[in-house]
């Protein structure tokens, strides 16, 4: 079942809502949509969980407004969805940019209705290199990425996707993956990349009070594994699960292990 939920005047989000039981709310990464979690969704439903997948504004089947691509606004959108669906005892999961957004949600909305937090390949506390953290993309590289989006978005996203997985993926999967990326609006893709470049959730980490799992690929070329130690240091009740044979796409590259660890975390 799909819901179309109005989060502010002129902006409606698409939310996939399937199964019954404790809800697991998934927030996708850049520049994807909730369909990236296809290989978790079916397993969750079969194990009596409720899958809630939100397409962020600008992405997937949600509206594509020209404004609102800050972490604050996207966190507020999540709050509206949770309130309107009357969700409680949520496990909130965020992938990559979605990981940074759910961290902002936890701080900005005091963890409203969330009992557990899952950070997957999270682009946090900040996506870009810092003076005390020489790993990952520079701000200049992200600025160039944004420029390239405006000039040739399909080529740019395909090249980004080539860094997403540790090993080459088959042509059929790549076609599916690229289609997810291209279903986003061009402006939403560019503006949210600016948020990735500029925003920082470091000060939000200490406000997270729920058990938190950190899933991350040891071979991640987009958000280097070294980021997990910043998250672990900042979030008191957190644990790291590393995926030795994965790059950024842990949800697919080590699918069986990922799903096993997911259900272990949900049951604890």
Q: Is residue 248 among the annotated active site residues?
A: yes
Q: How far apart are CA 90 and CA 161, in angstroms?
A: 30
Catalytic residue among 96, 121, 122, 238, which? 96
Q: How far apart are CA 119 and CA 236, in angstroms?
A: 14
Q: Is residue 187 among the annotated active site residues?
A: no
User: Own/partner pairs for 107-112, CB < 8 Å, 24+ apart?
Assistant: 107/201, 107/203, 107/204, 107/207, 107/208, 108/72, 108/75, 108/76, 108/204, 109/75, 109/76, 109/79, 110/207, 111/207, 111/208, 111/209, 111/210, 112/79, 112/82
Q: If you count them, how many residues does the chain have? A: 268
Name the β-bridge partners of 116: 91
Catalytic residue among 62, 192, 220, 246, which? 220
Q: How far is CA 239 from CA 15, 28, 242, in A?
A: 29, 21, 10
Q: Is residue 3 among the annotated active site residues?
A: no
Task: Give the active site residues.
Answer: 96, 220, 248
């Amino acid at each position: 079942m799909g819901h179309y939920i109005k989060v502010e005047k002129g902006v409606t989000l698409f939310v996939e809502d399937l199964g019954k039981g404790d809800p697991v709310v998934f927030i996708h990464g850049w520049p994807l949509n909730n369909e990236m979690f296809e290989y978790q969704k079916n397993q969750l439903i079969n194990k009596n969980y409720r899958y809630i997948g939100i397409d962020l504004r600008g992405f997937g089947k949600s509206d594509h407004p020209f404004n609102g691509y800050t972490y604050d606004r996207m966190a507020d959108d999540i709050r509206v969805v949770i309130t309107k669906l009357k969700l409680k005892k949520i496990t909130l999961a965020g992938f990559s940019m979605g990981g940074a957004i759910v961290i902002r949600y936890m701080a900005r909305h005091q963890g409203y209705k969330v009992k557990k937090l899952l950070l997957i390949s999270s682009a946090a506390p900040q996506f870009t290199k810092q003076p005390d953290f020489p790993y990952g993309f520079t701000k200049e590289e992200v600025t160039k990425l944004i420029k390239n989006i405006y000039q040739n978005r399909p080529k740019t996203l395909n090249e980004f996707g080539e860094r997403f997985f540790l090993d080459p993926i088959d042509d059929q999967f790549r076609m599916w993956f690229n289609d997810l990326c291209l279903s986003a609006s061009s402006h939403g893709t560019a503006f949210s990349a600016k948020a990735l470049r500029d925003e920082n959730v470091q000060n939000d980490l200490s406000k997270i009070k729920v058990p938190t799992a950190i899933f991350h690929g040891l071979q991640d070329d987009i958000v280097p594994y070294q980021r997990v130690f910043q998250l672990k240091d900042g979030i008191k009740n957190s644990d790291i699960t590393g995926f030795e044979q994965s790059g950024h796409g842990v949800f697919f590259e080590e699918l069986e292990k990922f799903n096993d660890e997911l259900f272990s975390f949900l049951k604890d």
